[in-house]
Chains A and B, each alone.
Chain A
Amino acid sequence: MILERLFFILFAVVAIAAAGGVVCFKNPVHSAFSLIVCLLQVAAIFVLLRSPFLAVVQIFIYVGAVMVLFLFVVLVLDIKKASLETFPGLKRWPVYVILPVMAIEFLIVIFGKSFAHMQMAEAGAETTVEVIGLALFTHYLLPFEIISVLLLAAMVGAIIMAKKRWN
């Protein structure tokens, strides 16, 4: 279906441009908004992959909560000093050499013959929330409970770090 491919290319190009913006913008606020755009494109790509639940989760966890946290931190901290940083730092020139070489190498491997014979099974219909729920509450019950302990630890740690002084 050609339309699907066109939409994928649209989302991918916007996502890559926005990701480039995250790295290149000087102001952290601009970077944060660029990252929001990138995450929304990734959510759209999840819809193309027939996982609407993941798309919704992506939007309301990442865009709704994580990015809000980032913007709050930018508001709390003094960003004036940080924006003085010189970019691109030519001092770290190996990065400009090694990363493109690695990326091209991986792309050759991915698009080359080694993956081409791995024709995947015919993809099914959309994954419903019910299927995810059944898997989550039968096979993955223990990870689900452990996640709550992890979140508790994260909450306690973050509050201890952020509080000014304990009396």
Chain B
Amino acid sequence: MIPLTWFIGLGLILFMIGVAGVLLRKNIIIVLMSIELMLNSVNINLVAFSYYLDDIRGQIFAIFTITVAAAEVAVALGILIALVRNRRVLNSDDMDSLKG
């Protein structure tokens, strides 16, 4: 049987890669993909604990996480399209109109 720690370790590494993507990349599409990566690593943790604790709630939570992620992607990409159409920027550093 696979130790639980392996799954948590995998989730941790994927989450850290996602954080690195959010912090290092400027292309907003890739930043959004990195956020998806982070949500997925959390799902791994939820399902792993659900399996090892023999509790269905982790999986239900993971299903809701996936659903919310789908809704979030739809809205985020809609905002991105509106942004590119109005401001012609696809770079997170150029979006500084609130900076004063």
**Which residues of A does B touch, CB under 8 Å?**
1, 4-5, 8, 12, 15-16, 19-20, 22-23, 28, 31-32, 35, 38-39, 42, 45-46, 48-51, 53-54, 57-58, 61-62, 65-66, 69-70, 73-74, 76-79, 81-83, 85, 87-89, 92, 95, 99, 102-103, 106-107, 110-111, 115-116, 118, 120-124, 127, 131-132, 135-136, 140, 143, 147, 150-151, 153-155, 157-162, 164
Min distance, Cβ B69 to any Cβ of chain A, angstroms: 7
Pull 29 A–B residue pairs with CB atoms less than 8 Å apart, ordered by A. A1-B1, A15-B10, A23-B21, A23-B24, A28-B30, A28-B33, A32-B33, A38-B37, A38-B40, A49-B47, A57-B63, A57-B66, A58-B43, A70-B77, A73-B81, A82-B29, A92-B23, A99-B20, A99-B23, A132-B60, A132-B63, A147-B64, A154-B71, A154-B75, A157-B74, A158-B75, A161-B75, A161-B81, A161-B82
Contact A22:B59 (CB < 8 A) given known A62-B36, A111-B5, A161-B81: no
Rounded to whole angstroms, the CA-CA distance of A106 and B19 in the bound complex is 14
Contact (Cβ within 8 A) B51 A107: no
Question: For A132, what are the chain B residues with a Cβ–Cβ distance below 8 Å?
Answer: 56, 59-60, 63
Pick the contact of B12: A89, A106, A116, A159 (CB < 8 A). A106
Question: For A22, what are the chain B residues with a Cβ–Cβ distance below 8 Å?
Answer: 17, 21, 30, 33-34, 37
Question: For A51, what are the chain B residues with a Cβ–Cβ distance below 8 Å?
Answer: 47, 50-51, 59
Contact (Cβ within 8 A) A23 B36: no
How many contacts between A and B, using CB within 8 angstroms?
216
Question: For B52, what are the chain A residues with a Cβ–Cβ distance below 8 Å?
Answer: 120-121, 123
Pick the contact of A161: B27, B30, B62, B78 (CB < 8 A). B78
**Which residues of B does A touch, CB under 8 Å?**
1-2, 4-10, 12-14, 16-21, 23-27, 29-30, 32-34, 36-37, 40, 43-44, 47-48, 50-54, 56-57, 59-60, 62-64, 66-75, 77-82, 84-85, 90-91
